[in-house]
Structure 1
Amino acid sequence: MQVVRRVFDASRKGQRIVANIYSASEAISDSERTRLTLLLAHANGFHKELWEPTLERVFAHKGKSWFIDQAIALDSYNHGDSAIVNRSFIDNEEFSPWTKNASDILAVLAQLGSPRNIIGVGHSWGASSLLLAEIMAPSSFANLIITDPVLHPGNSQSARDLAKLTLRRRYQWNNIDEARQYFTNHPFFRIWDQRIIDLHLRHGLEQIDDGSFVLKCRPTNESAVYSGSRDDSPHAMQNLPRVQCPVAFLTGDTSEQAPPQHITKITKDMVDCRHVVMNDVGHLLLHQDPDCTGDWYVDFIDAFVSKGAFPTANL
Structure 2
Amino acid sequence: MPASFSAARSAAPPIIFAHANGFHKEIWEPIISRISLRWTANDLYAFDCRNQGDSAVLNKDVLEKTFDWYSYAYDILQIIDKFNLKKPVGIGHSILAELIRPGTFSAIVTIDPSMFPRSVDPSIFPRSIYLNAPVDDHPMAQLTLKRRDTWKDRIEAKENLLEKRFFRSWHPEVLDLYVEHGMIDVINEDGSSSLILKCPKYQEAITFTCMGTGLYDSFERLNELEIPVQIITGKISDM
Report TM bin, short chain.
Answer: 0.7 to 0.9
Q: Deviations over 1:168-208 (max 9, x none)?
A: 11111122221111122221101111101110111000111
* Matching of residues 22-41 of structure 1 within 5 Å: 22-24=5-7, 28-29=8-9, 33-41=10-18
> What is the rounded CA distance, in whole Å, between the counterparts of 1:174 and 1:109 in structure 2?
38
Cα displacement (A) at 1:34: 2.5
SS in 1 for 2:98: helix
Query: Does structure 2 conserve the Cα–Cα contact (< 8 Å) formed by 1:94 and 1:223?
Result: no
Cα displacement (A) at 1:153: 3.8
The question of 1:201 aligning with 2:165 is answered: no
Query: Does structure 2 conserve the Cα–Cα contact (< 8 Å) formed by 1:37 and 1:70?
Result: yes
Q: Going by fraction, where is helix more abundant, 1 or 2? A: 1
Cα displacement (A) at 1:67: 1.4
* Matching of residues 92-171 of structure 1 within 5 Å: 93-113=64-84, 116-122=86-92, 127-128=93-94, 131-153=95-117, 155=127, 157=129, 160-171=138-149
Q: Deviations over 1:214-254 (max 9, x none)?
A: 10011101011101113221222221111111111111132
Q: 2:35 — aligned with what?
A: 58
Q: 1:226 — aligned with what?
A: 208
Cα displacement (A) at 1:161: 1.0
Percent pairwise identity: 32
SS in 2 for 1:252: coil
Paired amino acid for 1:237: F
> What is the rounded CA distance, in whole Å, between the counterparts of 1:153 and 1:85 in structure 2?
36
Q: 1:48 — aligned with what?
A: 25
Query: Does structure 2 conserve the Cα–Cα contact (< 8 Å) formed by 1:184 and 1:197?
Result: no
Q: Deviations over 1:95-132 (max 9, x none)?
A: 21101101111111111226x1300111xxxx22xx11
The question of 1:85 aligning with 2:55 is answered: no
Paired amino acid for 2:170: W
Residues 185, 108 of structure 1: alpha-carbon distance in 2 compared, 3 angstrom cutoff: same
Residues 235, 156 of structure 1: alpha-carbon distance in 2 compared, 3 angstrom cutoff: farther
Paired amino acid for 2:96: L
* Matching of residues 178-257 of structure 1 within 5 Å: 178-210=156-188, 211-257=193-239
SS in 1 for 2:173: helix
Query: Does structure 1 conserve the Cα–Cα contact (< 8 Å) formed by 2:87 and 2:103?
Result: no
Query: Does structure 2 conserve the Cα–Cα contact (< 8 Å) formed by 1:206 and 1:214?
Result: yes
Paired amino acid for 2:145: L
Aligned-CA RMSD value: 1.7
Query: Does structure 2 conserve the Cα–Cα contact (< 8 Å) formed by 1:98 and 1:225?
Result: yes
Q: Specify every segment of 5 or more residues in structure 1 that has no aligned partner in the other structure, as ranges.
A: 1-17, 258-315
> What is the rounded CA distance, in whole Å, between the counterparts of 1:191 and 1:156 in structure 2?
31
Q: Deviations over 1:246-302 (max 9, x none)?
A: 111111132121xxxxxxxxxxxxxxxxxxxxxxxxxxxxxxxxxxxxxxxxxxxxx
* Matching of residues 263-274 of structure 1 within 5 Å: none
Report how many aligned residue pairs link the two structures: 221
> What is the rounded CA distance, in whole Å, between the counterparts of 1:253 and 1:156 in structure 2?
28
What TM-score comes out, normalization by structure 2 length?
A: 0.87
Paired amino acid for 1:166: T
SS in 2 for 1:146: strand
Query: Does structure 2 conserve the Cα–Cα contact (< 8 Å) formed by 1:35 and 1:68?
Result: yes
> What is the rounded CA distance, in whole Å, between the counterparts of 1:214 and 1:251 in structure 2?
30
Query: Does structure 1 conserve the Cα–Cα contact (< 8 Å) formed by 2:69 and 2:207?
Result: yes
Q: Specify every segment of 5 or more residues in structure 2 that has no aligned partner in the other structure, as ranges.
A: 119-126, 132-137
